[in-house]
Amino acid sequence: MSPTYYLTTPIYYVNDKPHIGHAYTTLACDVLARFKRLDGYNVMFLTGTDEHGQKVQDAAEKAGVAPQSFTDTVSQNFRDLTSAMNFSNDQFIRTTEPRHYESCRHIWNMLLEKGHIRLDKYAGWYSVRDEAFFTETELVDGKAPTGAPVEWVEEPSYFFALSEWQQPLLDYYEAHPDFIAPAGRLNEIRSFVKGGLKDLSISRTTFDWGVPVPNDDDHVMYVWLDALTNYLTALDWQNDGADYSTYWPCDLHMVGKDILRFHAVYWPAFLMASGLPLPKRVFAHGWWTNEGEKISKSIGNVIDPLALIDKYGLDQTRYFLLREVPFGRDGDFSETAMIARTNSDLANDLGNLSQRTLSLVVKNCDGIMPALPADISGDDAELLAAADGLLEKVRAEFDQQAFHEGLRLIWDVIAAANRYIDTQAPWALKKTDINRMGEVLAVIVETIRQIAILVQPVMPQSAAKLLDQLMVPDDARGFEHIAGRARLTSGIAIEKPQGVFPRYQEPEGEGA
Ligand code: ME8
């Protein structure tokens, strides 16, 4: 039986259109999901939309539409983004689905039966933008720490006994040092929990766009209890579904740093209290800014992923987002950096290497794939060993969500292949040693074959084009066909190659 891998994105609020930040989180998961599938895993990759709560209700009111039809429209925008970005999610969950209501009621009843919920009264601050409660002492200049406005709320509320989970949570972090990543974030969470946990309000009465609390229709569940439970709903946990036993506990919850606390404190506490196993890892990535500025609707500098795809290409955008910024850190989007990656890493380093090599095979070998030397030694051995060694190294980086490092390692080998072609100068060998020319070309093609297989998760369409040009059959594109476990097939005919990575040219008049 194949090993399993369950990974999730946050479910996004449907108060607004998707932007680059949402695309980024799901992209990282998509790359990992594709990587794991190619590496022989049975993957469940979940994304979706978070459709309840005051923020969404307010947005619907502002648009003058009933919440359900408002969420139908906005949720569809997120679904459209998954196809535009070529995401391979296995499910797209919406919290307004009946199965999710059932699941929320189920977790509520479990918590209630086990004595972790009591009815009381909440009096304190609430930030609608963060959908979070704050104490007086947490406020900064009368606002939430995120800068969001807060309002005073006083209402009857059910509480979850979060305070009881302080020590169990600290013990869990201690016993599972990989649970929260990157390491700096673990420290933040640990000191937050050490600072003391107060019981958490988990229901609201002043609006009604949410899952009704079982046996108390005056209350709807707090949107975060509702939202986090989606990770179980998708596995049909509420019905003891087969997917639950196959995929839970979750291997990775990928989130932005803004919502780590909900995933690394509240969620594990809810699960422990319900007697359910905890996810293996929560990774909080950094925040994108635009040309140095915070991305915000009021500044008007929101980056639309569809516009990037239009301008630079889909795979170029996917590559840039994961290569440019060390995953986990904050990153800045700039057109200059985007163009540099497109033209230098893709068009020059990988695109030209492949185009030049295959053109030589077509021109100088009558389009018949040459064979590797019978005895591989010297520079040939060095380059092939570097290519063969990549999978293990890239896997280790991707398992730590260090996508930028994995890509850097691949581009190191591309650079080595470019040096090799320049040193070996196969074009000059045509007249002096045609046999050696074939061997040199075969060594490069074999390197490109391995690289094209390895970059499939990041650039699925472009990698497929490269592999088509190399005549690699569909069933020979998994990771079991690299790392020295298989070699390129010689003697087959290839066609005149078409460039896979076009250079980005600034439109006339706009300057570079
Ligand atoms: O928080 N840079 O939904 P949300 C990087 N519904 N990532 C960004 C970003 C930026 N500038 N802006 C947004 C919610 N993101 C809840 C989640 S989960 C059970 C419920 C990404 O629509 C990042 O992943 O506000 C962040 O955590 C998420 O969008 C917040 O999405």
CATH number at residue 474: 1.10.730.10
d(CA 277, CA 280): 9
CA of 301 from ligand 1 middle (Å) equals 17
Closest ligand 1 atom, residue 257 Cα: 27
In this structure, is residue 257 part of a structural domain? Answer: no
166 located within any domain: no
Tell me the HSE value of 224 on the side-chain side, using a 13 A CA sphere: 23
pLDDT tens for each residue of the chain, 512 residues long: 899 999 999 999 998 889 999 999 999 999 999 999 999 999 999 999 999 999 999 999 999 999 999 999 999 999 999 999 999 999 999 999 999 999 999 999 999 999 999 999 999 999 999 999 999 999 999 999 989 999 999 999 999 999 999 999 999 999 999 999 999 999 999 999 999 999 999 999 999 999 999 999 999 999 999 999 999 999 999 999 999 999 999 999 999 999 999 999 999 999 999 999 999 999 999 999 998 888 887 778 899 999 999 999 999 999 999 999 999 999 999 999 999 999 999 999 999 999 999 999 999 999 999 999 999 999 999 999 999 999 999 999 999 999 999 999 999 999 999 999 999 999 999 999 999 999 999 999 999 999 999 999 999 999 999 999 999 999 999 999 999 999 999 999 999 999 999 999 988 765 54
Q: Quick check: is 346 in a domain? A: yes
The closest residue, in CA terms, to atom 10 on ligand 1 is 21
Residue 61 near residue 328, CB atoms below 8 Å? no
Cα 452 to middle of ligand 1, angstroms = 31
Residue of 252, 249, 335 whose CA lies nearest to 292:
335
**Could you tell me the maximum CA-CA distance found in the chain, to the nearest angstrom?**
89
| Phi, psi angle pair for 464, to nearest 5° | -65, -40
Beta bridge partners of 158: 119
Find the 84 Cα to ligand 1 centroid distance in Å: 19
Q: Which of 506, 511, 447, 434 is nearest to 482 (CA)?
A: 447
Q: Quick one: which atom of ligand 1 is closest to the CA of 294?
A: 11
The protein residue with its alpha carbon nearest to ligand 1, atom 31, reads 12
Domain annotation covers residue 457: yes
Distance 505 CA to ligand 1 centre (A): 33
Domain count, the chain: 1
As to burial, measured by CB atoms within 10 angstroms (0-12 exposed, 13-18 middle, 19+ buried), residue 498 is: exposed
Asked, for residue 474, whether it belongs to a domain, the answer is yes
Q: Of the residues 17, 25, 257, 322, which should be mutated to test ligand 1's pocket, given the most ligand atoms within 8 Å of the CB?
A: 25
The predicted pLDDT at position 506 comes to: 85
Angle at 315 between CA 25 and CA 334, to 5 degrees: 70
Ligand 1 pocket, mutate which of 13, 100, 324 (most atoms under 8 A from CB) = 13
Q: How far is CA 425 from CA 356, 365, 373, in A?
A: 11, 15, 16
pLDDT in tens, 447-483: 999 999 999 999 999 999 999 999 999 999 999 999 9
Rounded to two decimals, the pTM is 0.97
Going from the C-alpha of 172 to that of each of 53, 149, 160, 310, the distances in angstroms are 30, 34, 19, 45
Q: For residue 78, how far is its CA from the centre of ligand 1 (angstroms)?
A: 12
Q: Which domain holds residue 424?
A: 335-481
Residue whose CA is at the smallest distance from ligand 1 atom 13: 21
Measured distance CA(470)–CA(488) in Å, rounded: 9
Residues lining ligand 1, judged by CB closer than 6 Å?
10-13, 21-22, 24-25, 50, 227-228, 255-256, 258-259, 287-288, 295
Q: What are phi and psi of 13, to 5 degrees?
A: -65, 140
Q: Give the gyration radius of the chain's Cα atoms.
A: 26
Atom of ligand 1 nearest to the CA of 259: 27
Q: Strands, E, within 312-445: which ranges?
A: 331-333
- According to the model, what pLDDT value does residue 161 have? 98
Residue 414 domain flag? yes
Centre of ligand 1 from the C-alpha of residue 360, in Å: 48
Ligand 1, residue 289: give the atom nearest the CA.
Answer: 11
Q: Which atom of ligand 1 is nearest to the CA of 231?
A: 19
Cβ neighbors of 371 (< 8 A, separation 6 or more) are: 438, 439, 442, 490, 491
Taking CA atoms only, the protein residue closest to ligand 1 atom 27 is 256
Residue 380 lies inside a defined structural domain of this protein: yes
Name the closest-CA residue to atom 18, ligand 1.
10
Asked if residue 117 belongs to a domain, the reply is no
Q: Separation of 9 CA from ligand 1 center, angstroms? A: 9
Instruction: Return the C-alpha torsion angle 497, 498, 501, 507, nearest 10.
Output: 150
Q: What angle do CA 248, 252, 253 make, to 5 degrees?
A: 100
Q: How far apart are CA 214 and CA 497, in angstroms?
A: 63
What are 81's two structure tokens?
A: 């983004």
Query: Which residue CA neighbors atom 15 of ligand 1 most closely?
Result: 21
Please enumerate, as own/partner, the contacts of 469-473 that have beta carbons within 8 Å and a separation of 24 or more.
469/354, 469/358, 469/494, 469/495, 469/497, 469/498, 469/500, 470/358, 470/369, 470/445, 470/494, 471/369
Q: Ligand 1 centroid to 334 CA: how many Å?
A: 21
Cα 47 to averaged position of ligand 1 atoms, centre (Å): 12
Can you point out the beta strands (E) in 16-167? 42-50, 91-94, 117-127, 132-134, 151-160
Distance of CA 468 to the CA centre of its chain: 27
Distance (Å) from CA 415 to ligand 1 centroid = 36
